[in-house]
Amino acid sequence: MEVEVKAKKAKEASRKMAVLDTETKNRALINMAEALLENADKILKANEKDVLEAERRNLKASLVDRLKLDEKRIKAMAEGLKEVASLKDPVGDIEEMWIRPNGLQIGKMRVPIGVIGMIYESRPNVTADAAGLCLKAGNAVILRGGSDAINSNIAIASILAEAAYKSGIPEGAIQLIENTDREEVNRMMKLNGLIDLIIPRGGTSLIKNVIENSTVPVIETGVGNCHIFVDESANFEMAKDIIVNAKVQRPGVCNAVETVLVHKGIAERFLPVMVKELSSHGVEIRGCELTKRICPDVKEATEEDWATEYLDLILAVKVVENIDEALEHISKYSTGHSESIVTENYTNAMRFLKSVDSAAVYVNASTRFTDGGEFGFGAEIGISTQKMHARGPMGLKELTTYKYVILGSGQIRK
Amino acid sequence: MEVEVKAKKAKEASRKMAVLDTETKNRALINMAEALLENADKILKANEKDVLEAERRNLKASLVDRLKLDEKRIKAMAEGLKEVASLKDPVGDIEEMWIRPNGLQIGKMRVPIGVIGMIYESRPNVTADAAGLCLKAGNAVILRGGSDAINSNIAIASILAEAAYKSGIPEGAIQLIENTDREEVNRMMKLNGLIDLIIPRGGTSLIKNVIENSTVPVIETGVGNCHIFVDESANFEMAKDIIVNAKVQRPGVCNAVETVLVHKGIAERFLPVMVKELSSHGVEIRGCELTKRICPDVKEATEEDWATEYLDLILAVKVVENIDEALEHISKYSTGHSESIVTENYTNAMRFLKSVDSAAVYVNASTRFTDGGEFGFGAEIGISTQKMHARGPMGLKELTTYKYVILGSGQIRK
């Protein structure tokens, strides 16, 4: 019953949070950051337990690395909270206000969503990031991290909740579910009326489970099978730089490119240049038949490659007849995250922008820019790959909703 | 398998719909309106079957009335489609565009949602309204009306789909599920990847069923247990007019008032005036103890009354200590639709606007204005009482989403 009790407390807290002034919220964020730094030892001790347990269970080295905290990572969490304090508070903004013929003034006011449930995996820094962003946007948050990081999460969440409470934030605004049973999360996803939104962050199976079982609204964050289309008129140098950047700069993230489509008219000249450059960066290429004919050393791509988010130094390459085939391929395999065209042709640039149905559609830029910070939003809580409520990088504004405020002078409906 | 086949066709159609120009969509809407008028006989004949069947099954008279079409109602449907044609097309609008320090230009572009599933009950006019709005916003629509109206719906949908297709709208943009088995709708709600959004319209049990069983995102439209709070400083004449309007002008709709809260300081003077006026309009009052003491003729309210959406000439009345108790009561019983304060006190007006967590919050106006037309949106597809994506009246813009379009000149991420 932990989750029900905590959700009820969160709901109560959210009512008080909604009318909290920005100064109080900012002061709390600064104090939360300080508290993390002051209690670093406590966090590291708890984290050590998690890491030892993970090693005992022979968890993959990459997962253990995600889990592991050190002074530097704790400092980064604290910096993150301070950055959120410096961001503009969207709550109370009236974005539009118009007047009706009968004199009613109607405004659209930004307000918090209420109670947000975060369901995530092993990275304990999500605990601090999510708590900070939800708090600044005036929401109460219920955190449900992975069992791997439970000791770290309990330490971080209790430090944050205490610092927030001491700074005037209502009790229950930041709560962690300590029971790591699967049953607990299943019940959490059914708490309509208490939880307003659930944001899952993690691998495909976690996200799929939440979408299939949650009756509370969900924002899908997600998988990025991102494409770059090199058009016939592309500047080769630019195309090469963009592709290398999008694949190599940080291959393990969702906005890295996974498939490059190359216009047939330039394939013979461009592919050798591109393959050479990528190979020098250690990228394995998996090409279509035509790619293999032009660059015989590349591996052959299978149907599966077009649909794969490698998150690794591997790139699928396909030669296409024209922009139509490129659009067709993207429409079939894209996960709706980020796609880019490299072209000097105005009409094709506009057509690509209009036709591609993804959260971020680029002309002549790397897909790696799909990120709250790069978009100018400050911190982000995730990147939405679905279409309802929020799409692409989600910052503070995406953690709010709106209500209509209507100023009358006695109007009645005729 | 009808719904899967139709959903696949809708998905294909939605890709073409997304890039359709406004002129083609408008021409289609006009032609659809004309086709309804030209085929009125066919529609009335089909409707007669539904009505006879409903009468044979002894359906409530009010339900039979909702079901029944006549020349006038068909004309109203046609007018509705023409009105949608005259509304501004939101698709392609770039609401904001900003430039980043690295020169990237980032814009937020309105785009269609994709495929929208409408699940509704007996009113066959929803078939035309929903088809028109979804089409104008660039979406494909799958209509699933109630079995009571199935013959009417088949007639209307086939006339609309044919007129749309002849006007250049892709095949599959408007489709009705003809199989009225419950299994069919259950499968429809699980078609993630093919259907992007489901909007249920109907009674509480229909909406509840969709929320509990849909894995596709849902926008809850809804129940309105609306409140008016008469503050101590209220202008009595204004308060009386607003309450009478909100209760009497059309009691069967979701934005009608169901509970009036009266400040204790004016209860003795205001209640008799209000009760007298409402009684003269045939309204039954159910009052709290204090209300009964002041107006001994009113019925006594039970706990259930505070939570009831009467949709009838019945009004619950409660005397409250102050604005705090009014806010507390609203927070406890409101369904998040529309609430109004009648006051001359600036501070209380601002506090009410800020504190009440409903889709529409009024000062000195009737709750009856919560309506797409009254807000200036033109037609509406429903009134959202949830917080994700859209809140309050949903017009064309709420049937779209956005994507980021990013114009670069070779930018790569550092």
Q: What is the pLDDT of residue B62?
A: 82
Q: What does pLDDT average to over chain B?
A: 96
**Which residues of chain B have a CB within 8 Å of the CB of A353?**
109, 405
Query: What's the pLDDT score for residue A222?
Result: 78
Q: Where are the domains positioned within chain B?
A: 2-220+386-406, 226-374
CB contact under 8 A, B401 and A387: yes
Helices (H) and strands (E) in chain B, counts: 16, 16
Flag if B406 and A361 touch (Cβ within 8 Å): yes
- What is the pLDDT averaged over residues B88-101? 96
pLDDT confidence of residue B117: 97
Q: Which residue in B98, B212, B353 is closest to A376 by CB distance?
A: B98
C-alpha–C-alpha distance, residues A220 and A200, integer Å: 7
Task: Tell me whether residue B366 is exposed, middle or buried, using C-beta atoms within 10 angstroms of its C-beta: 0 to 12, 13 to 18, 19 or more.
Answer: buried
- Predicted confidence at residue B407, as pLDDT, reads 98
Question: How does residue B125 score in pLDDT terms, banded at 50, 70 and 90?
Answer: very high
* Residue B211 with chain A: CB contacts under 8 Å: 192, 215
CB-CB contact of A120 with A144 (8 Å) = yes
The answer regarding whether domain A2-220+386-406 maps to CATH 3.50.50.60 reads: no
pLDDT at A16: 95
A vs B: CB pairs below 8 A: 191
Contact B161, B13 (CB under 8 A): no
Phi/psi of residue A138, nearest 5 degrees:
85, 15
Q: What is the pLDDT of residues A218-246, one digit of tens each?
A: 998 878 999 999 999 999 999 999 999 99
pLDDT digits (tens, 9 = 90+) for B187-207: 999 999 899 999 999 888 899
DSSP state of A202: S
Tokens for B348, please give them: 């209380």
Four-point Cα dihedral B5, B10, B11, B16, nearest 10: 140
Reduced to 3 states (helix: H, G, I; strand: E, B; else coil), residue B181 is coil
User: What is d(CA B115, CA B10) in angstroms, rounded to the nearest whole number?
Assistant: 6
Cβ burial, residue A47 (10 Å; 0-12/13-18/19+): buried
Q: How far is B366 from chain A (nearest CA, A)?
A: 5
| pLDDT of B28 above 90 | yes
Percentage of chain B exceeding pLDDT 70: 100
Neighbours of B153 (CB within 10 A): 30
Token pair listed for B200? 């249920």
**Minimal CA separation from A374 to chain B, in Å:** 8
- Phi then psi for residue A322, to 5 deg, are -170, -175
Residues 6+ apart with CB under 8 A from B184: B2, B3, B144, B177
Pick the CATH number of A226-373 from 3.30.450.20, 3.40.309.10, 3.40.1160.10, 2.40.10.10: 3.40.309.10
Under the banding of pLDDT at 50, 70 and 90, the label for residue A62 is confident
- Flag whether pLDDT at A168 surpasses 80: yes
Structure tokens at A159: 């430090």
For the segment A86-105, the average pLDDT, to the nearest whole number, is 96
CATH topology agreement for domains A2-220+386-406 and A226-373? no
How many angstroms separate the CA atoms of B252 and B232, rounded? 29
Say what the ipTM of the complex is: 0.93
- How many residues belong to chain B? 414
Q: How far apart are CA B300 and CA B322, in angstroms?
A: 21
**Residues sharing a CB contact under 8 Å with residue B48, sequence separation 6 or more, in sequence order:** none
Average pLDDT, chain A: 96
**The one-letter amino acid at B51:** V
Q: Tell me the C-alpha distance between A361 and A348, whole Å.
A: 13
pLDDT of residue B401: 97
Look up residue A13 and give its two tokens: 């807290």
Which chain A residues are closer than 8 Å to B412 by Cβ?
241-242, 244-246, 249, 365-366, 368
Smallest CA–CA distance from A196 into chain B, residue: B387
The region that residue A110 occupies, defined by phi over 0 for left and psi between -120 and 50 for alpha, beta otherwise, is: beta
**Interface contact flag, A238 B19, Cβ < 8 Å:** no
Q: Which residues of B touch A193 (CB under 8 A)?
A: none
Closest CA to A259 of A222, A207, A214, A224: A224
**Distance (Å, whole) CA A299 – CA B159:** 54
Give the model's confidence band at A101: pLDDT under 50 very low, under 70 low, under 90 confident, else very high.
very high
Least confident of A59-68, A257-266, A300-309, A360-369: A59-68
Count CA atoms within 13 Å of residue A74 on its CB side.
25
> What is the predicted pLDDT for the residue at A332?
95
pLDDT, position B61: 87
CB contact at 8 A, A211 and A130: no
The one-character DSSP state at A221 is B
Q: What is the pLDDT of residue A1?
A: 83
Mean of the pLDDT values across residues B27-47?
Answer: 98
Contact (CB, 8 A) for B384 and B207: no
Helix (H, G, I), strand (E, B) or coil at B90: coil
Is residue A285 predicted with pLDDT exceeding 80?
yes
pLDDT at res. B29: 98
Contact A364 B212 (CB under 8 A): no
B333 and A370 in contact (C-beta within 8 Å)?
Answer: no
Rounded CA-CA distance A259/A261 in Å is 7
What beta strand segments (E) does A12-139 contain?
94-99, 105-112, 115-120
Q: Does the distance separating the beta carbons of B412 and A249 come in below 8 Å?
A: yes
Is the pLDDT at B122 greater than 80? The verdict is no
Chain B residues within an 8 Å CB radius of A244: 412
Which pLDDT score is estimated for A257? Answer: 98
- What is the per-residue pLDDT across B215-251, written as a single tens digit (0 to 9) for each? 999 998 878 999 999 999 999 999 999 999 999 999 9
Cβ contact A246:A257 at 8 Å: yes
Closest CA of chain A from B411, distance in Å: 5
Least confident of A339-348, B5-14, B153-162, B379-388: B379-388
d(CA B21, CA B18): 9
pLDDT at res. A6:
97
**pLDDT computed for residue B247 by the predictor:** 97
Residue A166 tokens, joined: 């001491």
Query: Looking at the domain that runs over B226-374, which CATH code has it been given?
Result: 3.40.309.10
Place of tokens 């066959």: B124
